[in-house]
Amino acid sequence: MTQQHNKPKPTINPANLKQSVNQVNSNQALDIVDEVLKTINGLEEGLKNYPIRELVKHAEAFGSYLKQQRLETNQVRKFLDAVNRLKADLVEKKDFSKVETQVVLLKPKLAYAAARQRAAKPLSKVMSAAIDQVHSSEDFERLVQLIESIIAYHKAEVALRKPASACTQILSSVPGSVLMPNYLEKMPLNNCYSDFSTRLLHQCE
């Protein structure tokens, strides 16, 4: 009777496994940055032609990626504040040509943030490409929708990493949210993300 010898099972080095997972995540991250840039740079006749469903899909993946890169909104606060001021100015002046210079000057603010914080560099690259496609009020409106969507999904990622009570606080603090406090208290943690996913918030702070 032939004796069967069991072949030793190959062992997996945890360090190698972790390195492989990190490499996959890194590749996926680069993919979403490249995909967004390719879409924006390929738009004809301005940013207004960025399909809204594709924009939201990209914002979801990109916002999550920015959180993984440890980007904090206070690192790009000057840029976000400037966008909000331009929104108000455009509503008041009703003439894009009167705010166009300030829209273009958003790029140096992004470059400054990226120079100070490595985590801000991907956002700087994407938003700078988007600003280059802004030539009208409609284009600027799409720019605002893009940045607000990215920040909203970024906040959703923050909520996923916090206790349910913190998730409730984050959702309650975002202007534009129409969630009722009683509903928030009963909302399971895994619903935090879906609530963000189904809403384009009108203003993010």
Tens of pLDDT, residue by residue over 15-27, are 554 454 344 445 5
Count of domains forming the chain: 1
What pLDDT is stored for residue 74 in this prediction?
A: 84
Residue at 167 is within a domain: no
Residue at 186 is within a domain: no
pLDDT in tens, 181-192: 443 444 444 444
What pLDDT is stored for residue 64 in this prediction?
A: 92
d(Cα 95, Cα 22) in Å, to the nearest integer? Answer: 47
Residue at 94 is within a domain: yes
d(Cα 152, Cα 91) in Å, to the nearest integer? Answer: 22
What pLDDT is stored for residue 129 in this prediction?
A: 97
Residue at 72 is within a domain: yes
What pLDDT is stored for residue 170 in this prediction?
A: 52
Q: Find the domain containing 90 and state its range.
A: 26-161
Residue at 202 is within a domain: no
Assess whether pLDDT exceeds 80 at residue 165.
Answer: no
Residue at 190 is within a domain: no
Is this model's pTM higher than 0.75 or not? Answer: no
Residues 180, 181, 187, 189, CA torsion sign: positive
For the residues 66-93, what does the mean pLDDT come to? 90
pLDDT in tens, 97-151: 999 999 999 999 999 999 999 999 999 999 999 999 999 999 999 999 999 999 9
Report phi then psi at 201, rounded to 5. -70, 140
- Sequence-ordered alpha helix ranges (H) in 97-163: 100-104, 106-116, 121-131, 137-160
**pLDDT band at 45; cut points 50, 70, 90:** very high
Instruction: Tell me the HSE value of 112 on the side-chain side, using a 13 A CA sphere.
Output: 10
**pLDDT band at 156; cut points 50, 70, 90:** confident
Residue at 20 is within a domain: no
**pLDDT band at 155; cut points 50, 70, 90:** confident
